[in-house]
Amino acid sequence: MNIQTTKLDGCYILSPKVFEDNRGYFFESYHKKTFDDLLKEEVQFIQDNQALSDYGTIRGLHFQNPPYSQAKLVRVVQGSVLDVVVDLRTNSATYLNSFSIILSSKNMLQLYVPKGFAHGYAVLENRTIFQYKCDAYYHPEAESGIHPLDPFLAIDWQIPESERIISEKDLRLPFLKTNIH
């Protein structure tokens, strides 16, 4: 597995070593020792989540407030997404900056999202399966988020406005200027 830095401190792109032959391919999507060695820290993932969505779906931008913040390792099993993260760590040099990347079943890239980040994604293909590991359990009372169409962030979700599918819950999320603690 290889690691690549992003413009956001602590957020990394991971690419597995893929072994292909006439039968298909094989790769380790997660290996704790390799992962911890690459990050130079230990992350204890305790839960795996998976979502199936069709083209146009935008999920996020979600996070959990401390002390229930979550680090995530995200990837696409089938299809493709535009994955987006926003640094909400007030002590970070990249505070309020965002980063996006295409994750797909073809490129097999993964994104490590550290604690203190908002996370979301736009689904670019029908029947996309998105999977992620978390290092903390979900706590509904700590759930929070930022409106995905926040003008301050001005994220290009790569989905035409007329084709966006956003939950009512996400459309009720506050804009960033009213959400900063």
Instruction: Give the mean pLDDT of 58-87.
Output: 97
Amino acid at 5: T
- Mean pLDDT of the 163-173 span: 97
- The more confident residue out of 29 and 103 is 103
Report the candidate in 63, 67, 68, 71 with the shortest Cα–Cα distance to residue 10. Answer: 71
Read off the pTM: 0.93
| CATH class held by domain 2-178 | mainly beta
Non-local (6+) Cβ contacts of 145 within 8 A are 60, 61, 62, 63, 118, 170, 173, 179
* Domain ranges, ordered by start, for the chain: 2-178
Residue 179 in this model has a pLDDT that exceeds 80: no
State the chain's mean pLDDT as an integer: 94
Average of per-residue pLDDT across 142-159: 96
Tell me what pLDDT residue 146 has: 97
- Phi then psi for 113, rounded to 5 degrees? -110, 110
Predicted pLDDT of residue 176: 86
Confidence bin at 178 (pLDDT 50/70/90): low
What is the rounded distance in angstroms from the CA atom of residue 81 to the CA atom of residue 102?
6
Q: For position 39, what pLDDT does the model report?
A: 86
For residue 177, pLDDT beyond 80: no
Residues with a known catalytic role: 62, 132
Q: What is the pLDDT of residues 1-33, one digit of tens each?
A: 889 999 999 999 999 999 999 999 999 899 899
For residues 117 and 172, the answer to whether their CB atoms sit within 8 Å is no
